[in-house]
Amino acid sequence: MKKRQLLTAAVLCAAFLAGGTTALAADNSAIHSGVYVDGIDLSGMTRTEALDALNSYVDEMGEETLTLHIGDNELTPTLGELGLISTNEDEILEEAVQLGKTGNIIRRYKDRKDLEHENKNYQLTWALDGELVTDYVNNQCKKFDQEAVDATLKREGGSFRIVDGQTGIVLDADSSITLITDFIENEWDHTNGSLDLPVETDYPRGTAEELSKVKDVLGTFTTSYSTSGAARCQNIATGTAHINGTVLYPGDTFSAYEAVSPFSEANGYAMAGSYLNGKVVDSLGGGICQVSTTLYNAVLRAELEVTERSNHSMIVTYVEPADDAAIAGTYKDLKFKNTLDAPVYIEGVTSGKQVTFTIYGQETRPSNRTLKFESVTLSTTEPGVQIIADAGQPIGYITRESAHKGVVAELYKHVYVGGKEESVTKVNKSNYKATPRTITVGIAGDPDLSNELQAAIATQDEATVNATLASCVARMQ
């Protein structure tokens, strides 16, 4: 009896296994019924169909929005704009396809039976493209930044008026990027979301108490441009206006180039003479160096710290040698620092073809202390004359460019207390190159006359050239 029962059980087991094997082998390509991903039913789908379904779902999720509040402003990008991706889509798809198809026959049978009683719902994990989030925060969210406006001064009718500062807000970009990415990775519920991005209050500098200290003349200087043409006058007035009204708080550094540039018609400049490679050429903003030179001398008398200054390549006529300060592109600039304990105010005025800069602040120097600046010429180089033949101009043509003598000079600062000299300090040493007086003579025309002129030019003697040119012109008539 016992042997018969064992035999029956064995037969039934074999039949069960045979039937199970047949069922398991029925359709090995389709995903089993009851398999879901984020609630999407993948039952009966092939791998390709399931992949398409998941990709469509990811695209659909990319249309969800994330409202970003920046102070009183808001932006609503789609998650697709921020580069939404599923980080485990491939892994989940592989598990869904293989569920009930891997492992031994008992394991496969159990997985299938489990699906008959309860669906298997896989969960996707999500992330954003870090580069896209960073770009969006920096280029879109940051545009709502409102930097603080420092309290400042206005000079009206010979007195100062305090203008209150304005508080600003600045987005904390790094924290915002982290907040957005963490929200999607850990808190997002697959619907539209909303976040308050962190902003910081940007407080203005300056109080009425600080600015009320600005009332004393610390240094002033004036130069004349009485022989300048209209364009150069315009440039000096424009550059002065760009600097006028500047307030420097303690520790601030001022760049004359940054204040007066760009040199364009839109910024108020015209074509006028300037130095370039030993020659005088027309350029936008020509004459601006007289502005920086005048300011330089006012700064020296206010005894602010000059951190950068360059002399001109050639001597200028409106100040003594070593008294100048050139501006040329970004490689020659006048920079100085407010090393005082109170703010300073820079006033620039043009009137009667004179430019004046005055530095106002809080005077702390003794009333019996005075300054004197002395230009000392160490050596000079005579420029000479250079006569050039120009085959592109006809005989009779002649132009003359003025010469500049070479100078090596030093500027000294003398300090007097009670009329007695207390110290002498060298401020700078400046080297100005010599450029010859250039005479250009046209030689195009009759070959014999041209040869005669070239021979005269070869002597580099001005009197000989003048006489020969006069003779040639007379014979041409």
pLDDT, tens only, 250-285 = 999 999 999 999 999 999 999 898 887 667 787 888
**pLDDT of res. 15:** 38
pLDDT at 27 over 70: no
Average pLDDT over residues 216-230: 97
Indicate whether 117 and 175 sit together in one domain: no
Indicate whether 257 and 355 sit together in one domain: yes
Is residue 17 in a domain?
A: no
Indicate whether 326 and 223 sit together in one domain: yes
Indicate whether 330 and 276 sit together in one domain: yes
The CA–CA distances, whole Å, from 121 to 57, 66, 213, 243, 368 equal 15, 26, 73, 69, 90
On whether the CB atoms of residues 443 and 390 are closer than 8 A, the answer is: yes
Is residue 464 in a domain?
A: yes
Indicate whether 278 and 358 sit together in one domain: yes
pLDDT range class, residue 332, cuts 50, 70, 90: very high
Distance CA 124, CA 38 (A): 6
Indicate whether 358 and 222 sit together in one domain: yes
Indicate whether 51 and 125 sit together in one domain: yes
Distance CA 395, CA 472 (A): 8
**pLDDT of res. 25:** 40
Is residue 10 in a domain?
A: no
> In the structure encoding, which two tokens stand for residue 199, read together?
């902003």
Residue 199's identity, in one-letter code, is V
Is residue 392 in a domain?
A: yes
Is residue 41 in a domain?
A: yes
Indicate whether 263 and 351 sit together in one domain: yes
- Which is it for strands 152-156 and 159-163: parallel, antiparallel or unpaired? antiparallel
- Which is it for strands 168-171 and 199-202: parallel, antiparallel or unpaired? antiparallel
Instruction: Give the domain range for residue 106.
Output: 24-134
Is residue 287 in a domain?
A: yes
pLDDT at 11 over 80: no
Q: How many domains does the chain have?
A: 4
Indicate whether 223 and 357 sit together in one domain: yes
The CA–CA distances, whole Å, from 127 to 87, 186, 216 equal 7, 9, 61
Indicate whether 258 and 296 sit together in one domain: yes
Indicate whether 217 and 358 sit together in one domain: yes
Beta-carbon contacts of 95 under 8 Å, excluding residues fewer than 6 positions away, are 122
Distance CA 221, CA 306 (A): 16
**pLDDT of res. 264:** 93
Determine phi and psi for 109, rounding to 5 degrees.
-60, -40
pLDDT range class, residue 6, cuts 50, 70, 90: very low
Average pLDDT over residues 46-71: 93
Indicate whether 183 and 93 sit together in one domain: no
Query: E strands, 402-447, where?
Result: 406-417, 420-432, 437-444
Mean pLDDT value across the chain: 90
Q: Which residues pair with 283 in a beta bridge?
A: 272
> In the structure encoding, which two tokens stand for residue 440, read together?
């250009």
Distance CA 321, CA 374 (A): 10
pTM: 0.74
Q: What tens digit of pLDDT does each residue of 448-477 get? A: 999 999 999 999 999 999 999 999 999 988
Distance CA 238, CA 232 (A): 10
Q: What tens digit of pLDDT does each residue of 167-195 get? A: 999 999 999 999 999 999 999 999 999 99
Is residue 19 in a domain?
A: no
Is residue 282 in a domain?
A: yes
**pLDDT of res. 267:** 96
pLDDT at 118 over 90: no
> In the structure encoding, which two tokens stand for residue 28, read together?
């090995």
